A and B are shown apart, each in its own frame.
Chain A
Amino acid sequence: MISEHIDMEINKDSEVKSITIVKGSCISAAERVRRKITKDDFVEVMVVKNSPLRMVVREIRGKQKPTDSFRDSIKQAGLLNKKFDF
């Protein structure tokens, strides 16, 4: 079973170290049942530095696209429609 710490506090000072989105077909059948996801759904594994590092797992199921979170991050960061200028 994938371990997780969903009770941890994530606040604006938390540092996201990594995000990995994995397809439902890549995890075990038991884990899919537990998370109520299909082989076509996804899970997002986020590692947050919160003394010590913690893993947060979120289901991306149904009509949620795996790209939705990235798009939301861009909006939250105020980067929507900004042009690269390097």
Chain B
Amino acid sequence: MADIKKIEEIFIIDEEIVQDFFDEPNYYRAELFFNYLSSWCQCSRAYMIPSLHKKIVDWIKRNTSNKDTLTQTKAIADFKNWVEEADLLGEDDGNNDQHDTELLFNIIKLIHPDKQIKVVSSKYKNHERINSIDSDGLFEYIGKNKEFMDFFERKYNIGNWDSSY
């Protein structure tokens, strides 16, 4: 089998698509996205600003404090496999998500000028300087990638996905 051509895209995400992965109703959107990352993108992890990444890890810790160590640490390790703390931002007070997201976008754009960078969030829709897309738009965008969708549906033996969900 020939190697699959990997797409040179880098995604910056916030808590919205992660929340989708935790939820029953919108799980399929996040699942499709994370599988797209793993199977189709050179950068197989999404970046997240450090303050938000820490909030999610702390939230998992807080909400699994009654669970055993294996269960708690595995949930955190799984999250970290898919979502990488963008520590290239260094230390910040973490009080301004928009500023940190813009900064992260600009840093990645500078070091990867040939790659497409997308910010997945509804918060920055129509932002003039960063290329933003919300979960609905992301689902539609991936759904239009016929080559990936054919692969995804064939590999996991699922019916045709309706990207108009």
Contacts and interface: CB of A to CB of B under 8 A. Distances in A.
Interface of A: 10-21, 23, 25, 38-40, 42, 46, 63, 65-67, 69-71, 73-74, 76-86
Chain A interface, DSSP helix/strand/loop, else mixed: loop
B122 interface: no
Interface size class of B (residues with CB under 8 A): 35 or more
A46 B73 CA distance: 11
5 contacts: A23-B38, A67-B82, A70-B82, A71-B31, A81-B23
Contacts of B59: 84-86
Contact of B68 (A12, A39, A42, A69): A12
Interface string B121-165: 000000000000000000000000000000100011100000000
Contact of A79 (B35, B64, B69, B77): B64
Contacts, number: 125
Given A46-B77, A85-B59, A40 B70 contact: no
Most chain A beta-carbon neighbours within 10 Å: one of B18, B24, B76, B77: B77
B102 to A, nearest CB: 21
